[in-house]
């Protein structure tokens, strides 16, 4: 069986996490690898229905996703997780769980600056926050703890999606996780 891994893409809303996860997944599948995206919005609909955006709920959400990702990764799947995960402590808990199980875990910081994310505003969240229709937006009026030592940091501004996906693929290859 191929070696699985969890690749957690952390970053601000509209940083490019989902786009990169999908592009990297397609590429891995084209190579015959089993790859899966654990999409944050889908997870919130099914696995984490009822959870909100408080610190405690965000932490629970991240730990649940980490649990499922580890299970899949331990069976040879490369699991791409495009989920904000704003707190270092929650991310660390997920890493520890993987380490305890002997499952590969890679943290990728999609480090698009806030002003670029707010311009992209894929889901209209920044506009809603600015209009006073939403509070607790990560990076604006809710914390985002920048990863201190990610396995990879991707600057997406001025780069194509393809280049960003290449960087994730190169990281997996470097760690012997593409075969």
**11, 122 contact by CB (below 8 A):** no
Cβ proximity to ligand ADP: between 14 and 178 the closer is 14
Strand order of the β-sheet with 78-82 is: 35-37, 78-82, 5-10, 104-110, 152-154
Least CB distance to ligand ADP at residue 84 (A): 8
What DSSP character marks residue 155?
Answer: -
Size of the site for ligand ADP (CB under 6 A): 17
Q: Is 82 in the site for ligand ADP (CB under 6 A)?
A: yes
Selected binder of ligand ADP within 64, 120, 128, 169 (CB under 6 A): 120
Q: Is 159 in the site for ligand ADP (CB under 6 A)?
A: yes
Q: Phi then psi for 89, rounded to 5 degrees?
A: -65, -40
Q: Is 10 in the site for ligand ADP (CB under 6 A)?
A: no
Least CB distance to ligand ADP at residue 15 (A): 4
Selected binder of ligand ADP within 5, 6, 7, 11 (CB under 6 A): 11
Cβ proximity to ligand ADP: between 18 and 61 the closer is 18
**145, 19 contact by CB (below 8 A):** no
Selected binder of ligand ADP within 19, 25, 48, 138 (CB under 6 A): 19
Q: Is 80 in the site for ligand ADP (CB under 6 A)?
A: no
**105, 5 contact by CB (below 8 A):** yes
Q: Is 54 in the site for ligand ADP (CB under 6 A)?
A: no
* 137 φ/ψ sector (left φ>0, alpha ψ -120 to 50, else beta): beta
Residue 133, Cβ density class (10 Å: 0-12 exposed, 13-18 middle, ≥19 buried): exposed
Q: Is 13 in the site for ligand ADP (CB under 6 A)?
A: yes
Which stretches of the chain bind ligand ADP, using CB under 6 A? Answer: 11, 13-20, 82, 120, 122, 156, 159-161, 164
């Amino acid at each position: 069986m191929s070696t699985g891994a969890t690749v957690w893409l952390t970053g601000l809303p509209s940083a490019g996490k989902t786009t990169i996860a999908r592009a990297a997944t397609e590429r891995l599948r084209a190579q015959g690898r089993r790859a899966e995206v654990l999409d944050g919005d889908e997870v919130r609909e099914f696995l984490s229905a009822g959870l909100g955006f408080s610190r405690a709920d965000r932490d629970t959400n991240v730990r649940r996703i980490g649990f499922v990702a580890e299970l899949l990764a331990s069976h040879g799947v490369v699991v791409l997780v495009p989920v904000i995960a704003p707190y270092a402590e929650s991310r660390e808990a997920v890493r520890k769980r993987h380490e305890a199980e002997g499952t590969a875990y890679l943290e990728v910081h999609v480090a698009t600056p806030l002003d670029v994310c707010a311009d992209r505003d894929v889901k209209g969240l920044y506009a809603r926050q600015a209009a006073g229709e939403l509070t607790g937006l990560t990076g604006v009026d809710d914390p985002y703890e920048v990863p201190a030592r990610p396995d990879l940091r991707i600057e997406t501004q001025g780069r194509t999606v393809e280049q960003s996906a290449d960087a994730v693929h190169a990281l997996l290859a470097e760690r012997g996780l593409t075969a």
